[in-house]
Amino acid sequence: MSTDPYSTRTRELFAHPAHAGLLERGPVVYADAQDVRLQLSAEAAGGVLEAMRFQAWGCPHVIAAAEAACAELEGRPVADLLEFAVSGLMANLAVPVEKTGRILVLEEAVRSLGRRFRDEA
């Protein structure tokens, strides 16, 4: 049994976060809770998410999860943001259960981004 607290996938995403950054257009949300500071931005056209970026201050699981969420959501309907759940992502990254609270900050931030799109529509 591995004693490495990070899965291979978590290590990859942490080391190479392709979606790090801040988009110039579109809504931006910011969350600060549970030892996580997270900023999400997204651009959409025709009801589809064209680009999504994150900035994060947090543990490696938070950074990896934010990267995974951005990659997963790009190309999907904006409405999916409102339904976003982290359970599958936590399993894929093998996030320890005690870090659930931190990853839920990401879930709430994504949904908040969805509400911003909805409210601005």
Partner 1 sequence: MNDKTIYLDYAASTPVDPRVWERMREVAERTCANPSSVHAAGRLTHEIIAQAAAQLGTLLNADPATLIWTSGATESDNLAIAGGARHRAHRGRHIVTMKTEHKAVTDVFERLGKEGFDVTWVEPGNHGVLDPAAFETALRDDTQLASIMLVNNETGVVQDIKALGGICRERDILFHVDAAQAAGKVHIDLAALPVDLMSVTAHKLYGPKGIGALYIADRPGCHVEPLLFGGGQQRRIRPGTLPMELIAGFGMTAAIAAARIDDDLAHIRDMRRILWDGIRGVDGILLNGDPGGFPGILNVSADGVEGESLLLALEPLLVATGSACNSKSQAPSYVLRALGRTDMQAQSAIRFSVGRPTTAAEVEFAAQHYVKAVARLRGLAPEVAA
Residue numbers of the site for partner 1 (CB under 8 A)? Answer: 5-6, 11, 14, 17, 20, 30, 32, 35, 37-39, 55-60, 63, 96, 98-99
Q: For partner 1, which is the closer residue by CB, 16 or 46?
A: 16
Bridge partners of 71, per DSSP, are none
Q: Can you give the length of the chain in residues?
A: 121
Q: Starting at the edge strand that comes first in sequence, how are the strands of the sheet with 28-33 ordered? A: 28-33, 36-45, 48-57
The count of other CB atoms within 10 Å of the CB of residue 120 is 8
Q: For partner 1, which is the closer residue by CB, 6 or 84?
A: 6
Closest contact distance (angstroms) between CB of 71 and partner 1 is: 15
Q: For partner 1, which is the closer residue by CB, 60 or 77?
A: 60
